[in-house]
Amino acid sequence: MVVRTGVVLALALLLVGCAQRSPGAPVADDTVVAAVMPADFGGTIDYANGSVPPPYHYEWRMTIGATTAEVAWRPGYDEVQPWRNSVDITPEQRERVYDRLRDLGVFELAPDTSEGISGGSTGSIELVADGRNYDPGTLGMSRAGQDVLDDIVDAVQALVPADVWDGFQDQQEQWAAEHPR
- The pLDDT of residue 178 is 92
CA dihedral 162, 35, 134, 157 (to 10 degrees): 0
- The pLDDT of residue 181 is 75
Q: What pTM, to 2 d.p., does this model score?
A: 0.79
- The pLDDT of residue 89 is 97
- The pLDDT of residue 5 is 39
Structural domains in the chain, CATH included, are 42-178 (3.30.1560.10)
The string of pLDDT tens digits covering residues 131-175 is 999 999 999 888 888 999 999 999 999 999 999 999 999 999 999
Given a cut of 80, is residue 49 above it in pLDDT?
yes
The string of pLDDT tens digits covering residues 50-106 is 888 989 999 999 999 999 999 999 999 988 899 999 999 999 999 999 999 999 999
